[in-house]
Amino acid sequence: MGRVRGAFDAQRVCVTGGAGFIGGHLVDALLALGASVRVIDDLSNSTLEHLSELIELEPKRLRFVHGSILEDRALREAIDGCDVVFHLGALGSVPRSIEEPERTWDVNATGTLRVLEAARSLGARRVVYSASSSAYGDTSKLPKGETDAPQPASPYAAAKLAGEGLCRSWSESYGLQTMSLRYFNIFGPRQPADSAYAAVVAAFIRRLSVGQTPVIYGDGEQSRDFTYVSNAVAANLLAGASPREPRGEVVNVGAGDRVTINELLTRIADCLGVSGVSPEHKGARAGDVRHSQADLTRARELLGYRPIASLAQGVEETVAWFAAAGKHSSEHGA
Ligand SMILES: NC(=O)c1ccc[n+]([C@@H]2O[C@H](COP(=O)([O-])OP(=O)(O)OC[C@H]3O[C@@H](n4cnc5c(N)ncnc54)[C@H](O)[C@@H]3O)[C@@H](O)[C@H]2O)c1
């Protein structure tokens, strides 16, 4: 990560969706690297809890714009004067996209177009877009490489994939520097654990810690490339700082490995010291893919990206965070 040191010092950057899970970690890192950060978020899937703490610490270097990326004025306010835009704002759930396909398209595809247009018209140099490995769909080839034909299987995947095309075309048509980072199942501290759409790592930790039965959709033999959030942050920083001008390239960001959901549950249970776990199995979810694992060759070649934290480390840190957060909220009567 030596190559990003100094790259953001005194730089002004924007993080869309910066109140969210990955966005919050990215804002932490950018502030630590000396950047001035503007965040735009409509708080539709997040709260101001983490950002408020940061604003208290860094009132001059962190500004929050409460608004949607679909609102022109709010977006301009957030992006004006920024050199790099990290675009994370999105509706991030496959099941919700199946219930609300049009809203998903509006925010994830049209929203990306609006961010690119605002960045271009306001003179930003680069947009780093949070894309999704769901673009690959349920193909049997492993690991998934960026030259594989995309086969989106949900409205979420289709809209995120459209965002990649928009990024590339804004590079080709207008010379805006863009890069699309296709994340593979990111997890870590502060990921919501109690929503109906919760990511599986947070959901398992939460249920096991309070003695509830964890739920697995399908037989649990489906596998994923679970990636600790610090890896996604590192990839964003590398993409934002890269001296080589990106022109819409799509780049996988994962751990480069995979485990089944059943195995993940065992690892989390071990880490929590819970034995004899027997999950409840529910029907497989529509739009879910069977296996997923990232080929990281391009990420290494273009960005010098290598996972900086393993699954074991990530699970340990996430379990520790949830334990501390649970203790804090019970001490405060929440
Ligand atoms: N978490 C993962 O495993 C994963 C995997 C692939 C891609 N991604 C992508 O990474 C990005 C961040 O995901 P996350 O897991 O942190 O999710 P998140 O929901 O925690 O973060 C997204 C943020 O965007 C905000 N947002 C939603 N609609 C908005 C709008 N119209 N205007 C402004 N802000 C809006 C939400 O309030 C939230 O704070 C998303 O683009 C998501 O599609 C995440």
Return mean pLDDT, the chain: 94
Domain regions of the chain by residue span: 2-184+229-255+290-308
And the tokens for 23? 């966005």
On the question of pLDDT at 317 being above 90, the answer is yes
Topology adopted by domain 2-184+229-255+290-308: Rossmann fold (3.40.50)
Ligand 1 centroid to 97 CA: how many Å?
A: 13
Ligand 1 centroid to 7 CA: how many Å?
A: 25
Give tens-digit pLDDT for 215-226.
999 999 999 999
The pick from 39, 44, 292 for probing ligand 1's pocket by mutation, whose C-beta has the most ligand atoms within 8 angstroms, reads 44
What's the mean pLDDT in 124-148? 96
On the question of pLDDT at 287 being above 70, the answer is no
Check residue 93 and give its pLDDT: 87
pLDDT band (50, 70, 90) for residue 330: low
Ligand 1 centroid to 260 CA: how many Å?
A: 24
Give tens-digit pLDDT for 51-85.
999 999 999 999 999 999 999 999 999 999 999 99
Give tens-digit pLDDT for 10-45.
999 999 999 999 999 999 999 999 999 999 999 999
pLDDT band (50, 70, 90) for residue 332: low
pLDDT band (50, 70, 90) for residue 334: very low
> Pocket around ligand 1: residues whose beta carbon is below 6 Å from it?
16-17, 19-23, 40-46, 68-70, 88-92, 107, 111, 130, 132, 160, 183, 185-186
pTM: 0.97
Give tens-digit pLDDT for 264-282.
999 999 999 999 999 999 9
- 43 CA: nearest ligand 1 atom: 37
Assess contact for 7 and 13: CB atoms under 8 A: no
What's the mean pLDDT in 245-252? 98
The whole-angstrom separation of Cα 311 and Cα 255 is: 8
Ligand 1 centroid to 200 CA: how many Å?
A: 16
Minimum mean pLDDT range among 112-126, 151-165, 182-196, 253-267: 182-196
And the tokens for 74? 């709010």
Q: Whose CA is nearest to atom 28 of ligand 1?
A: 90
The whole-angstrom separation of Cα 75 and Cα 71 is: 6
